[in-house]
Structure 1
Amino acid sequence: MPKVLISDKLSPAAIEIFKQRGIEVTTKPGLTPAELRAIIGEFDGLAIRSATKVTRELLDVARNLKVIGRAGIGVDNVDVKSATARGVVVMNTPYGNAITTAEHAIGMMFALARQLPEASVSTKAGKWEKNRFMGVELTNKTLGLIGAGNIGSIVAERALGLKMRVIAYDPYLTETRATALGVEKIELDALLARADFITLHTPLTEQTRNILSREALAKTKKGVRIVNCARGGLVDEAALYEALRSGHVAGAALDVFETEPATDNRLFALENVVCTPHLGAATNEAQENVALQVAEQISDFLLTGAVTNAVNMASVSAEDAPRLKPYMELCQLLGGFAGQLTEARQGVIRQVGIEYEGAAAHLNHRPLSAALFAGLLAPVMEGVNMVNAPVFARDHGIELSETVHDRDSEYQTLIRVSVTTDDQTRTVSGTLFGGSKPRLVEVKGIKVEADFGRHMLYVTNQDKPGFIAKCSAILADEGINIATFHLGRSAPAGDAVCLISIDEPLPEAALIAIRHLPQVMQATQLSF
């Protein structure tokens, strides 16, 4: 039974989902880093919000951890790079709190435009300072979106309903999508110069940190109002303080801060600043949604292999997971076969090609290539799996090419893999028998059909009489039982391939003896 730890406060409904799915769940919110490190090693999954910090040190001792689920959109409290290197899937829930966060940004914009918090405090204090709180309308003002993704697009929709003009800066926003949203796509400097209000809706990365820097704030329109309900660190708080004091920035509404909890911040002293304690996702509906979503996603992954909203690997829907599973197994076996045959003397792997024919041509191929790399690199790298294998391959300069053949295959489905090193290119092909059983059907262009055995001996030799008898004699002398014996050849007296499944590993001395047979060109022991 998989075990999941919930280390932050989540809705009780999430706990029930884990239990109903047959997963053992432990709830321990508020653990210190040391306490969390002491127990994390026994869990397969970790469900968190923003309080738990998943550091490299924590991941170092999380020996069984397979998946981290963040109930929320941001994953800046997770060391994603270290998680990926250790083969741990990191998921978030980008849609569960999108409406709530967008509504909070709109609410903050209203509060800023009409000075609602200050007016409320003044009125409750017995004052009636009607002339003090002169606001501005939102109608006909220009709203500049920095980030037009899921949340930003909802803000844009609401702002257009308020009769605002909306401009957007987002490197990933296409002209087609901008037109569909009803926004004008522009560059950042142009947005800064034109916007009456600026709202931020982008994750915190090295590229977006201090995107509203001192220099950027200086380029803004005088009297601009800034709303940040995304991530602390997107705005240079020291520069913002000075711009607010000087009057260049008329006001700011902040739900997030560089340091949280933000109990002491000099921005709090300014009357033209509205502050809330990271309430963007703080509605009953949002908390329920993200808790349920993260519980379902973690459960699906641990029970079926489905991957949803992962930030470090390709997604596999719960519907597709059962159908893809045998293909992923086939790809991992083909990769393992090619990887074990690639000897160091042949040079490093430069390129991997995958061809899909028949039913395989119509699948989601990203998980399949990840499985292939996992099998290919496993013989030379420890701890490699589908999560980290594509990253390792990219880091080692291995290029991937994928080809989909829209043609009938000799088999109902066929996957062909080619591995190119400094010295040669080797191909291996496989299919699924009965729709689920992986099977080799070709090696180096030579047809040879064989199941993947636990222990196998691969031999390339010249097709001449006597080889089979001599090879079998060596195995018999060592007491090695042959399970299956498969042969293929390019032509009579040409190159031949021999695949032998054996019941136990072959001693090194026996392998050397086979390599020294007159007809043998290569003999490699394989394990799967």
Structure 2
Amino acid sequence: MAPKVLVSDKLSDTAVQIFRDRGIDVDFRPDLGKDKAALAEVIDQYDGLAIRSATKVTAKLLDRATNLKVIGRAGIGTDNVDKDAASKKGVIVMNTPFGNMITTAEHAIAMMFAVARQIPEASASTHAGKWEKSRFMGVELTGKTLGVIGAGNIGGIVCDRARALKMKVMAYDPFLSEEKADQMGVQKVELDTLFAHADFLTLHVPYTEQTANILSRENIAKLKPGVRVINCARGGLVDEEALAEALKSGHVAGAAFDVFETEPATDSPLFNLPNVVVTPHLGAATTEAQENVALQVAEQMSDYLLTGAVTNALNMPSVTAKEAKIMTPWIKLSGHLGNFIGQMTDEPITAINILFDGSVSQMNLAALTAATVAGIMKKANPDTNMVSAPVIAKERGIQISTTKQDKSGAFDGYIKVTVVTEKRERSIAGTVFSDGKPRFIQIKGINIDAEIGAHMVYTTNEDVPGIIGLLGNTMGSHDVNIANFTLGRSEAKGEAIALLYVDEAIPPTALAALEDTGMFTQVKPLAFDV
């Protein structure tokens, strides 16, 4: 059956058609997002939800979204989506961070010009029939220092445009390397240095715990006298009341804001102040940008629902369509390795260590790690998936570490998973053969070659004669057909293991019969989603 997507905000007809052209059943109801109750009534019917900013995806709504797999936000900001709740529910949250980069950067530059030359006030005065030429004395941008907080995608474009205007550019960004700063032609500085030297200051960071109120009252006091502040990023980055006071005192010469702490902003300390330019969150509001992000989100959601490709997800590693095709058997193997160890472990897990060897070490390790952790967590919560598993592991205080190494053995590539509990460590390794089928190749350090089936039984015993016959006879007497039988041992007369792949779930009577023989130290039924 074709995946079903609800578009609950205004997307272009072209974007909606992309879903249809890709074979997805789409309901285009652009006003539904404004009606919380009506949306909650139907959300359980859909695999995907495409939104802009009007639809609020709350934890309460997600509780009703029993079939939802992906939320696509046409735009950058996802403040209207409860991402923690989505992650716990295993729902991918995507945005489109590149579709409106140019538009937002251009708006920041336009706002900088507007506040430098007092264009809005001058326009209103002239419309009123006044000719106040001497009142609106502006400043040039050429030769001035622009301080940029956040030199990522949008901030980087602003830096490039500012350099073309012959401005000196300083940038503060913890993730900006000196090499990248040199390539961009900007000076990388600490925040206090930027505050002390910037004639214009523009913000281009998301709203996070680290960036909230980054222009606090204390930091506004550190700004160079006569600075002009531009914010086209996110509300809540600036203490608006403190900035208003600095504007009134003259410490700050002007401000241009497109975003506010509370939106829609019907009131703000910045309103009705001289030389303050305000716009109603227009950063991405161009015809080109709105079309670009709508088309992009439709393509991204379609790719995920049809091929498993993940692009611009905020709560899951991205996997391209090409990667998805190559990695599918390895992701399946990762899940099986995790699932085996999860079913075998009864005590609380404190750490998960994953080794990637050979060819697999060059793949998308974040995705493989997520699949492994999901497999481990399935015993506790069968609905766990690659999105929710890392969140659950973090909540439980489980430490996850990964290591990659060059080819070190007989296999072109393999994955080894080790879990640590207070009592023990338990490990399993696997690979993918040329036929694309995952195999277990080592358990507890004992080499094996085991095909993976939906129903299996794992036994451990002392290496003595008669075990094979005992297993075969017991299964046969309980009408259980063995599809594949794998043995391994640490050394002669040492510890031995067996993995049986059988056609159907093993009845409790068969398991009890094996245990009653007294020959096995462990008998464990296993189930895998193959």
**In which range does the TM-score fall when normalised by the shorter chain?**
over 0.9
Aligned residue identity for 1:405: Q
- Work out the number of aligned pairs and report it: 525
Is 1:247 matched up with 2:250? yes
Aligned residue identity for 1:189: D
- SS, match of residue 269 in structure 1: coil
The residue aligned with 1:47 is: 50
Deviations 1:144-172 (A, max 9, x none): 11111110111111111111111122222
Deviations 1:106-130 (A, max 9, x none): 0000000101111111112222111
Deviations 1:279-307 (A, max 9, x none): 10111111111111111111111111111
- Map 1:154-173 to 2 at 5 A: 154-173=157-176
Bigger mean CA offset, 477-486 vs 52-61: 477-486
Aligned residue identity for 1:458: Y
Query: Which of 127, 130, 134 in structure 1 is aligned with 2:133?
Result: 130
Bigger mean CA offset, 101-110 vs 119-128: 119-128
- Please report how far the alpha carbon of residue 441 of structure 1 lies from its aligned counterpart in structure 2 after TM superposition: 2.1
Is 1:150 matched up with 2:153? yes
**Following TM superposition, where does structure 1 have runs of at least 4 consecutive aligned residues deviating by more than 4 angstroms?**
none
Q: Distance in 2 between matches of 1:78 and 1:260?
A: 15
The residue aligned with 2:524 is: 524
- SS, match of residue 368 in structure 1: helix
- Map 1:398-417 to 2 at 5 A: 398-407=398-407, 409-417=409-417
Query: Unmatched 5+ residue regions in structure 1?
Result: none
- Please report how far the alpha carbon of residue 456 of structure 1 lies from its aligned counterpart in structure 2 after TM superposition: 0.7
Aligned residue identity for 2:376: L
The residue aligned with 1:111 is: 114
Deviations 1:80-135 (A, max 9, x none): 11111111111111111111100000000000010111111111222211111111
- SS, match of residue 22 in structure 1: coil
Query: Unmatched 5+ residue regions in structure 2?
Result: none
The residue aligned with 1:281 is: 284
Query: Which of 94, 100, 107 in structure 2 is aligned with 1:97?
Result: 100
Q: Contact 1:353/1:402 (CA < 8 Å) preserved in 2?
A: yes
- SS, match of residue 319 in structure 1: helix
Q: Distance in 1 between matches of 2:353 and 2:166?
A: 52
Is 1:141 matched up with 2:150? no
Q: Distance in 1 between matches of 2:353 and 2:436?
A: 23
- SS, match of residue 281 in structure 1: coil
Query: Which of 57, 61, 66 in structure 2 is aligned with 1:58?
Result: 61
- Please report how far the alpha carbon of residue 222 of structure 1 lies from its aligned counterpart in structure 2 after TM superposition: 1.8
- Please report how far the alpha carbon of residue 356 of structure 1 lies from its aligned counterpart in structure 2 after TM superposition: 2.7
- Please report how far the alpha carbon of residue 408 of structure 1 lies from its aligned counterpart in structure 2 after TM superposition: 5.7
The residue aligned with 2:8 is: 7
- Please report how far the alpha carbon of residue 382 of structure 1 lies from its aligned counterpart in structure 2 after TM superposition: 4.2
The residue aligned with 2:487 is: 487
- Please report how far the alpha carbon of residue 384 of structure 1 lies from its aligned counterpart in structure 2 after TM superposition: 1.3
Deviations 1:209-248 (A, max 9, x none): 2211222212212221111111111112222222222222
The residue aligned with 1:26 is: 27
The residue aligned with 2:356 is: 356
State percent identity of aligned pairs: 58
Bigger mean CA offset, 459-468 vs 331-340: 459-468
The CA RMSD measured in Å over matched residues stands at 1.7
The residue aligned with 1:294 is: 297
Query: Which of 234, 237, 241 in structure 2 is aligned with 1:238?
Result: 241
Bigger mean CA offset, 233-242 vs 351-360: 351-360
Aligned residue identity for 1:182: G
The residue aligned with 1:392 is: 392
- Please report how far the alpha carbon of residue 257 of structure 1 lies from its aligned counterpart in structure 2 after TM superposition: 1.2
- SS, match of residue 267 in structure 1: coil
Query: Which of 316, 319, 324 in structure 2 is aligned with 1:316?
Result: 319
- SS, match of residue 505 in structure 2: coil
Change (3 A) 1:264 1:352: closer
- SS, match of residue 310 in structure 2: coil
Q: Distance in 2 between matches of 1:217 and 1:432?
A: 58
Aligned residue identity for 2:511: L
Q: Contact 1:464/1:519 (CA < 8 Å) preserved in 2?
A: no
The residue aligned with 2:123 is: 120
- Please report how far the alpha carbon of residue 175 of structure 1 lies from its aligned counterpart in structure 2 after TM superposition: 1.6
Q: Distance in 1 between matches of 2:119 and 2:358?
A: 64
Query: Which of 217, 220, 225 in structure 2 is aligned with 1:222?
Result: 225
Aligned residue identity for 1:449: D
